[in-house]
Structure 1
C-alpha cells in the first residue's frame, strides 16, 4: 500500500480536474491569509512579534509567562493548596479582568484538578507518557500502511513536527495542548470493532476541553454509517454524559457570577479561510514561514490525507476539514491556540503528498480512452 494512492484509480478527466482544483486551492490559500495584528494575539501562546512578512510567532519571551498561562498556573497552585476550583477560577479571572460569563468562559476543572493532584513532576511524567503512547499508537497504526520501518519513522517525524509547538512543558497548563494530543492518540487507536481505547482517549480529551466534541460526533457518525450500533451507542452515551457535565459546570459558574460581570466577546466571527489558516499556522511551526507560503502549507497535508487509500485517510480528511470549517466560522484572533486541537496529527498527511501528486500527474497524462 506504500506506492498506491486513492488517486491511482481516477480517470484522466478526473485527474485533470483534481489538479486544477488543487492548484486553485493553493493559490487561494496563498492570497487570502491576512495575519492579525500583534495586539490581537496576546494570549496563551505568548506575546507576539511580527517577523518580516511572516505570520506572528506564538512564542513567549524568555523567562516570561503570558497572562493566560500565568492565570492557569495560579489556579492550579491554589487548587493544589486545597481551595475550591470554581471559587479560585472565578476570583482569578475576575482579578485579571478576564470574562467569567457565560460559564463557558471558565475552563472545565479537569486539567487544573489533575495537575494539582499530580504536582509538577507528575504532570511532566504524564506528558511524557502521553507522548510515548501517541507515538506508539501511530507506529502500530501505520505498520500495515507503511511496511518498511524507515518510512514509518518519516511519518512519525511529521507527527513530531505537528506536536512540537504546543505539546511541551511550557504549555502543559494549556487545555488544548492535552486535548489535541489525546485526539491524535484516539485517531491512531481507533479501528472498526476495536474502538474502546480510542473512546477512553476521546473521553479524556472531552473532559479537558469541550472543543473535542466535534471529534466525538464524527466518530459516532462514522460508526452509525458502518451500522455498528454498539459503538454508536457508546459515542452517543459519551455525548450525553458530557452534556450533563457541561451543564453542571455552567451552573456552578453561574452561582458565583452576576450581572455585574461583563460578558465575554462573541466567538462567532466568520473569519473565513484566513481564520482557518491562522489557527493552524500559529499553532505549528508554520508561523516561521512567509505568509504567502504558510497558507498553502496548511492545506497540503489534506491532499495527502485525501490520497491515502485507507479508512484512516477518509477519517482524517473529515476530521481536519471539519475543524477547519469550525475555525472559519468561530474563534477570535486571540483564540488561535484552538488549532492545537488538531495540529499534532495534521502534518502526517504530508507523507502521502508526493505519491498523490505523482499518481494524479500520471493519470492526467494518460492517452484518451
Structure 2
C-alpha cells in the first residue's frame, strides 16, 4: 500500500488513499470506463428543442402549463382530481394508469397560497438547502477557498430550482427536499431527515427511491431505529398512494388514453444528458458537460464520509431509473438529484491524486531482521 499523502483540499484523505495497488488499478480502470461511458451522452436523445417564443409557451413548456392550470383550477374551488382529469384530457395526456396523476400535495398547497408566497417559499427552501450543505461541508475542507468552490458548484446544481416559472414543477420541490434531507441526516440525528424525505415523497412519489436507499443503508449499518423511521415513512406513502389510486379511479373513464409506458431503455448516456440539462452544465458543450458529470460521480466516490456513500447510492439509483425507464420527454426526472451532484467536483483533486498514488507508487517498506 502506498504511503498516504497529505490532503490537497480536504481535511482528511479520500477512501482511495487506503487502497492497495492492485485494487487501485482496478478502480482506475473503472474510472476510465466511466469517462468513456459518459461520452454516450453525445448520441443520446434529448428533449424536443425549445423555440423561446413567448407565444409558443404552451408547446415549449407544456408540462409546466399543465400544472399551472391545475393549480388555478383548485384555487378557483375545483376538486383536485376532477380538475386534473379535465386538464389532462384537454392537453391530450394519458390518464391511465393512476400514476399519470401527481399526488395532490403540491397543487393543494400552492392553491391555498398567493402566487408570490409560493415563490417566496421556494426561495426559502433553496436558501435552507444552501445553509444546510454549508454547515455539512465546512468540516470536510481544510481551507475556505475549496469550501467556497463547493458552494459555487452547489449553486450551479440549483440553477433551475430558483426559476419562478418552474415553481409548479413537482421535481423542483422534491429535488430540493431530498438535498435538504441528505444534508441534515447524521448518525445521532436523523428524524428531521426522515421528515423532509417524507415530504419529498408526498410531493413526488419517486422520491421513495431515495428514502428506500436511506432505509437500506441504515439497516446495513446496524441502525435499526433509523431504518424503522425511514421504513415508516415509506409505509405512510403507501397508504397515501392507495387513497390516491382510488380517487383517480373515480374520475377516469374507460375511453381515456393510457400511457405508452416508461421502458425507454435509453442508457447511461441519457442519465448524463439529463444531469447536464438540469444544472449549470447546460451552458457548456455537451462533451465537456458529460466529462464533468463523470468526474462529479468519481469525486463523490472518493470522499470518505457516510454522506458521500448515501449521495452516491442515490445518484446511482436514479441513474438506473433514467437509463432504463426515462424517455426524452421525461428528462426532468433528473431534477430529483441535480442540486447536489456537481459538489462532487470539489472532491476530485484529492480523489484523483490519492487514486493515482495508490495505483502507481512503487515504494515499499523493507523490514530487515538482524540477529546478534
Per the normalisation by structure 1, the TM-score is 0.90
- C-alpha separation between the residues in 1 aligned to 2:311 and 2:146? 19
Once the two structures are TM-superposed, the CA of residue 32 in structure 1 deviates from its matched residue by: 5.5
Once the two structures are TM-superposed, the CA of residue 14 in structure 1 deviates from its matched residue by: 2.5
CA deviation profile, 1:287-342 (whole Å, cap 9, x unmatched): 33333333222211111011101111111111111111111111211000000000
Q: Which residue of 2 aligns with 1:18?
A: 27
Q: Which residue of 2 aligns with 1:5?
A: 14
* Residue 284 (structure 1) aligned with residue 276 (structure 2): no
- C-alpha separation between the residues in 2 aligned to 1:203 and 1:364? 42
Q: Which residue of 2 aligns with 1:229?
A: 224
CA deviation profile, 1:15-66 (whole Å, cap 9, x unmatched): 23322221222122214642326xxx24xxxx536xxxxxxxxxx5457351
Which residue of 254, 262, 266 maps to 1:267? 262
Q: Which residue of 1 aligns with 2:356?
A: 361
Once the two structures are TM-superposed, the CA of residue 212 in structure 1 deviates from its matched residue by: 0.3
Counterparts of 1:174-193 in structure 2, within 5 Å, are 174-193=169-188
Q: Which residue of 2 aligns with 1:131?
A: 126
- What RMSD in Å do the two structures reach over aligned CA positions? 1.8
Greater shift, 272-281 or 352-361, is seen at: 272-281
**8 Å contact from structure 2 (residues 70, 84) kept in 1:** yes
Greater shift, 317-326 or 340-349, is seen at: 317-326
**8 Å contact from structure 1 (residues 186, 199) kept in 2:** yes
* Residue 29 (structure 1) aligned with residue 38 (structure 2): yes
Counterparts of 1:84-99 in structure 2, within 5 Å, are 84-99=79-94
Which residue of 75, 82, 96 maps to 2:77? 82
Which residue of 321, 334, 339 maps to 1:339? 334
SS, match of residue 96 in structure 2: coil
Q: Which residue of 1 aligns with 2:291?
A: 296
Once the two structures are TM-superposed, the CA of residue 279 in structure 1 deviates from its matched residue by: 2.1
Greater shift, 276-285 or 69-78, is seen at: 276-285
- C-alpha separation between the residues in 2 aligned to 1:148 and 1:170? 37
Greater shift, 287-296 or 18-27, is seen at: 287-296
CA deviation profile, 1:76-98 (whole Å, cap 9, x unmatched): 11111111111101011111111
CA deviation profile, 1:74-126 (whole Å, cap 9, x unmatched): 11111111111111010111111111111110111111111111221111111
User: In the comparison of the two structures, how many residue pairs are matched?
Assistant: 352
**8 Å contact from structure 1 (residues 12, 368) kept in 2:** no
SS, match of residue 263 in structure 1: coil
- C-alpha separation between the residues in 2 aligned to 1:357 and 1:195? 31
- C-alpha separation between the residues in 2 aligned to 1:299 and 1:367? 28
**8 Å contact from structure 1 (residues 33, 273) kept in 2:** no
Q: Which residue of 2 aligns with 1:48?
A: 50
Q: Which runs of 5+ in 2 are unaligned?
A: 1-9, 365-372
Residues 31 and 241 (structure 1 numbering): CA distance in 2 closer, same or farther, change over 3 Å? closer
Q: Which runs of 5+ in 1 are unaligned?
A: 50-59
* Residue 171 (structure 1) aligned with residue 166 (structure 2): yes
**8 Å contact from structure 2 (residues 40, 268) kept in 1:** no
* Residue 256 (structure 1) aligned with residue 265 (structure 2): no
Per the normalisation by structure 2, the TM-score is 0.90
CA deviation profile, 1:231-274 (whole Å, cap 9, x unmatched): 21121111111011112111111111121001011012222212
- C-alpha separation between the residues in 2 aligned to 1:335 and 1:263? 16
SS, match of residue 258 in structure 1: coil
**8 Å contact from structure 1 (residues 166, 284) kept in 2:** no
- C-alpha separation between the residues in 2 aligned to 1:147 and 1:368? 27
- C-alpha separation between the residues in 1 aligned to 2:351 and 2:251? 54
- C-alpha separation between the residues in 2 aligned to 1:88 and 1:215? 30
- C-alpha separation between the residues in 2 aligned to 1:267 and 1:288? 28
* Residue 204 (structure 1) aligned with residue 203 (structure 2): no
